[in-house]
Amino acid sequence: MPELTQYMILSGVPKELIGLILMLPIVATLIAFSREIIGVKGFGIYTSLIIAYAFVGTGLANGVVIFALVLISGTLMRLFIRHFRLLYLPRMAVVLTGVAFTIFLMFIVAAFYHQTEFLKISLFPIIIMIPLVEKFIGAQIERGPQAAITLTVETLVLASLSYLIITWGWLTGLILDWPLAVFPAVLIFNVLLGKWTGLRLTELVRFRELIKYVELSNKQ
């Protein structure tokens, strides 16, 4: 471990915190790569990133359960109150009240079944996930339920993959050994990624018939 990392640890900075900070640009780059090269959109880089870090606090399995319950309860509350014709902010307050009540019930059930690991989850990662309800409902209104579900699934996949990267012990050990190499490497990679002008993998699949037609036309 280099002197810089050792100095920070001896000064009282937790080793886990250093690793999480250094992992942030790597995870952000992974999400950007998934968007620009593969074509996985999700709800954007910030949302996928904070959910991944929320999963670090909850564990992946518990995090996915909370993620699903938050969205399901928020959607059901929206369907329940949509006929009341409320203004946006009061409507969202009612939705979030329903979400909070669902989380409250979730902890009651966990206590009843003695799920001690679940009961140890702090409030902070749960609070991080709750704002996703607003994005999900906004996507439902603007793009329709199917598009909202697709974006949500993509966000969950990106967050889960990011969680696996964050908790990968070998990679964490590597970046702790070379902390100052992370930032220039990530910056250079993103500059090159930002110059990418080719088709994304999802677009290659989506437009494969058109691509075949253009290739045949060029051969003739």
The secondary structure of 27-59 as a DSSP string is HHHHHHHIIIII---TT-HHHHHHHHHHHHHH-
Please report where in the chains the tokens 């974006």 appear, as a residue: 151
Contact between 12 and 26 under an 8 Å Cβ cutoff? The reply is: no
Mean pLDDT score, 21-40: 91
**pLDDT, tens only, 97-112:** 988 899 899 999 989 8
pLDDT digits (tens, 9 = 90+) for 47-81: 899 999 999 988 898 899 888 888 889 888 888 88
166 phi and psi angles, rounded to 5 deg: -60, -40
Tokens representing residue 117 in the block: 């690991």
For residues 2 and 177, the answer to whether their CB atoms sit within 8 Å is yes
Asked if 133 and 96 count as a contact pair (C-beta separation under 8 A), the reply is yes
Closest CA to 141 of 97, 206, 202, 95: 95
Cα–Cα distance, 174 to 62 (Å, whole number): 28
The model's pLDDT over 121-143, given as tens digits with 9 standing for 90+, comes to 888 888 888 878 878 877 877 88
How far is residue 106 from each of residues 32, 115, 123, 160, measured CA to CA in Å? 34, 11, 13, 22
Provide the mean pLDDT of the chain: 85
Give the closest residue to 55 by CA, choosing from 42, 44, 68: 68
Count of beta carbons in the 10 Å neighbourhood of residue 184: 9
| Identity of the amino acid at 207 | F
